[in-house]
Amino acid sequence: MTRWHLPPSSRAHANRRTHGSNVNDQAATLRVIRGSSDTSPPVVGRQRALAITGGKGGVGKSTIAVNLAVAYATAGARTLLVDTDLGMADLNLLLGVAPNKSLLDALHGAPLDEVVVSAHGIDLLPALNGSYLMANLGSSARQRIFDLIESLATRFDTLVLDIAAGLGPNQIGFAAAAEPIVVVNPEPLSMADAYACLKVLRTEQDVRHAFVIPNRVTSTAQAAEVVGRLAALVSRFLDLELTTLPPVPADPSVPEAGQYGVPLMLHRPDAPAARAIRQIARALDAHHAPDRRTDVARRFWRRTLLASGQGETP
Ligand SMILES: Nc1ncnc2c1ncn2[C@@H]1O[C@H](COP(=O)(O)OP(=O)(O)OP(=O)(O)O)[C@@H](O)[C@H]1O
Ligand SMILES: [Mg+2]
């Protein structure tokens, strides 16, 4: 199984595998973290590998992936966004770009420099729209994609993977390769699919920790209810720790930005959903603060960073 690791903050950490340390403490299954004030930027120079997933279609995975990537890039991070929705390339549209090449060309040997496109301060490794072949990759092609991403390690410190809907080997394989962040909406179907996604990540990929983002909520009470119900299920049936990130409100600026092909974060930086996503970026960094690190939080470019001795949090 390929996983990108955040670098260890110390050698002692590197040799310790503690990510299951509180798996028996079901009361600790749900943790809530918040970002610091809205004005403090995300930490620059931090390594991050995030996989935005959720099981269900249309819950806001791509929206959050794009805007989280832009939030980190705006703060100075070198950010690579990967469209792992390989057969239905949504990110091109959200970023308003029309790439000439895609991951399929990269798989056929095209240099990555010719495939990666820059837009709005981030770099995108694009998928291919309407490609049955790409949507149904085998495990060796998937491994090739992992290797291609890994080969970009020295050029980026922040990796955001946008995961397709569904629970197939592509979705679950890519989601488990980084830190899974499950997007959930208030609808019961979304909750059921988010739970299914967590269950498959736990059982098929031995994932012990995931983040959850309530999206399209109309109040903080609704966000708490959504997360509470999901956490109750997880706590009862799964041996997995869930950390709640700040909720993203239902916000008409989100589809509006999509229509313009400009990330919300740049289209309307002060929109409520944009502010929420900046909070999420900070909350993720707070979670990874050296005193709160867990092994599972260190899946990022591990080989490269260990080899080069980089990766300490500034
Ligand atoms: N917080 C929000 N407020 C309002 N609309 C939203 C919000 N989040 C997402 N949307 C809208 O919901 C729709 C689906 O969003 P998005 O494409 O990000 O979902 P997805 O989970 O990536 O979907 P798919 O599974 O098809 O890839 C879009 O029209 C988007 O503008
Ligand atoms: Mg999508």
Q: Whose CA is nearest to atom 30 of ligand 1?
A: 255
Buried b or exposed e, range 92-111, using 16+ CB within 10 angstroms = bebbeeebebbbbbbbeeee
Q: Which of 86, 90, 78, 122 is nearest to 107 (CA)?
A: 86
Residue 295 is classified by DSSP as G
- Which secondary-structure segment (H or E) carries 80? strand 79-83
Which domains occur in the chain, in start order? 27-308 (3.40.50.300)
What pLDDT tens digit does each residue of the chain (314 aa) get? 566 543 333 222 333 333 333 333 333 355 555 444 455 555 556 788 999 999 889 999 999 999 999 999 999 999 999 999 888 888 999 999 999 999 889 999 999 999 999 999 999 999 987 778 777 888 888 888 888 988 887 789 899 999 999 998 889 989 998 999 999 999 999 999 999 999 999 999 999 999 999 999 999 999 999 999 999 999 999 999 999 999 999 999 999 999 999 999 999 999 999 999 999 999 998 887 554 433 333 344 443 333 333 333 22
Contacts of 160 (CB under 8 A, 6+ apart): 48, 50, 51, 52, 65, 68, 69, 72, 79, 80, 81, 82
Q: What is the DSSP letter of 206?
A: -
Cite the DSSP H helix spans in 96-187: 103-107, 112-115, 132-135, 139-151, 169-177
Does residue 52 sit in helix, strand or coil? strand
Residue type present at position 136: N
d(CA 74, CA 78): 9
Do residues 222 and 186 touch, judged by C-beta distance below 8 A? yes
Q: Whose CA is nearest to atom 13 of ligand 1?
A: 58
DSSP 8-state code for residue 37: -
Mutate which of 254, 277, 278 for ligand 1? The one with the most ligand atoms within 8 Å of its CB, which is 254
Q: Which two three-digit tokens encode residue 64?
A: 């959050």
Q: Which residues line ligand 1 (CB under 6 A)?
A: 57-63, 85, 90, 165, 215-216, 248, 250-251, 254-255, 258, 273
The answer to whether 35 and 286 are in contact (CB under 8 A) is yes
Q: What is the pTM of this model?
A: 0.84
